[in-house]
Amino acid sequence: MSEVHLLRVWPAILLMIVTLPCGAQSLRQEAQQSGVLIGTAVRPAQLSETLYATTLAREFNMVEPEDVMKWWVLRPDQGTYDFRQGDELIRFAQAHQMEVRGHCLIWGRNNPEWLTTGHFNPEQLARMLHDHIDRVMKHYAGQVFAWDVVNEAMDEKGNLRDSIWYNQPGIGMAGQGTGYIEQAFRWAHEADAHALLFYNEAEGEGMNRKSDAIYAMAKDFQDRHVPIDGVGLQLHISTLDTDAQKLAAELSKNIARLSALGLQVHVTELDVSVPVDAFGVSHPEDLARQAEIYRKIVRACLNNAGCTAIQMWGFTDKYSWIGSHSHGTHGQALLFDREYRPKMAYRAVLEELSAGRQAMH
């Protein structure tokens, strides 16, 4: 079935909208034949919007909650677990034969106020964290196939960040390096032995001090039989000045060394933001450069069997964190525009998935 998209005209600017060829498959169809999961972060509140839900179900075979499995949503107060929004996402995924990644069990940021201002001691925090991991993972056992157990625990130099779980006051392992991360993974494995357990991190996709620290931790865990199954590389690309070729080469090298440890690698939070004007409009040339970055990242994943999932941090520019985060200077970071029309970046990802499939045969 042919999908034809009209050119969209803004004052003095012509935006290029992709026209897909007759018979073109969806990202989901191509990914399935390539043996990789293609996913996106999701806000359940948008599932009632027809275009959002239909595009999501057509194009992706994996979803991850953007927020609704984080502490501040699941734990409105110390004594309550509120699974309603997460359960809504699970129901949608099951109805459309989609896998679900859980995100995230531990993060040093965006925790509920009752937790951060509660003046709990290490023993109390350890007990609460253990209970949280156990309750949440058992609630979603058999429904969530992989979890980001720990999210963004390291700074740009690969040192552990100060956090309520590590050393403020921590769960009793302050000064023991990655000990608190190890304990979280052990608790997670006890709660659901069938779930894949990931460490998820930003700015550790290339070859740098942070990625070296992630690798060292992962190798240490593997050597000592700590139950870790994979590493999530976020890949929020904030500038088009990025050397796409260099990024892809370093990403490939990093995926290869992590895979050599026997770990899976997931691209977990991919988006590529572009400069926009006061009306939210970008230049076609920038959208073309964006597409090339997407293309090379997807290719780097597909070229290594250890990279088993590619996930965007959202799929439509209508619902993206980039605009507010950049105070309106950047946007249009995702594969579909605000009207759910595929952009050049979509076509690039589709072509790479198709090429990856063809290379397998």
Same domain for 229 and 96: yes
Instruction: Quote the number of domains for the chain.
Output: 2
Q: Look at phi and psi of residue 220 and say left if phi exceeds 0, alpha if psi is from -120 to 50, else beta.
A: alpha
Same domain for 299 and 286: yes
Same domain for 197 and 252: no
How many other C-beta atoms are found inside a 10 Å radius of the C-beta of residue 219?
A: 15
Q: Count the alpha carbons within 13 Å of 131 in the hemisphere toward its beta carbon.
A: 12
Same domain for 133 and 48: no
How many other C-beta atoms are found inside a 10 Å radius of the C-beta of residue 171?
A: 24
Sign, Cα dihedral of 117, 66, 301, 284:
negative
Which of 291, 239, 334, 278 lies closest to 10 in space, CA to CA? 278
Options 64, 182, 269, 352, the catalytic residue:
269
Same domain for 228 and 100: yes
Instruction: Tell me the residue range of the domain where 192 lies.
Output: 68-201+224-234
Same domain for 76 and 23: no
Query: pLDDT in tens for each of the 361 residues of the chain?
Result: 333 333 333 333 334 445 554 556 999 999 999 999 999 999 999 999 999 999 999 999 999 999 999 999 999 999 999 999 999 999 999 999 999 999 999 999 999 999 999 999 999 999 999 999 999 999 999 999 999 999 999 999 999 999 999 999 999 999 999 999 999 999 999 999 999 999 999 999 999 999 999 999 999 999 999 999 999 999 999 999 888 999 999 999 999 999 999 999 999 999 999 988 888 888 999 999 999 999 999 999 999 999 999 999 999 999 999 888 888 888 899 999 999 999 999 999 999 999 985 565 4
Same domain for 182 and 108: yes
Q: Is 123 among the residues known to form the active site?
A: no
Q: Is 241 exposed, middle or buried (0-12, 13-18, 19+ CB in 10 A)?
A: exposed
Same domain for 252 and 348: yes
DSSP track, 296-346: HHHHHHHTSTTEEEEEES-SBGGG-SHHHHTTTSEE--SSB-TTS-B-HHH
- Name beta bridge partners: 275: 330
Is 216 part of any domain?
A: no
Whole-prediction pTM value?
0.92
Same domain for 229 and 102: yes
Options 30, 152, 292, 352, the catalytic residue:
152
Q: Is 205 among the residues known to form the active site?
A: no
Same domain for 98 and 57: no
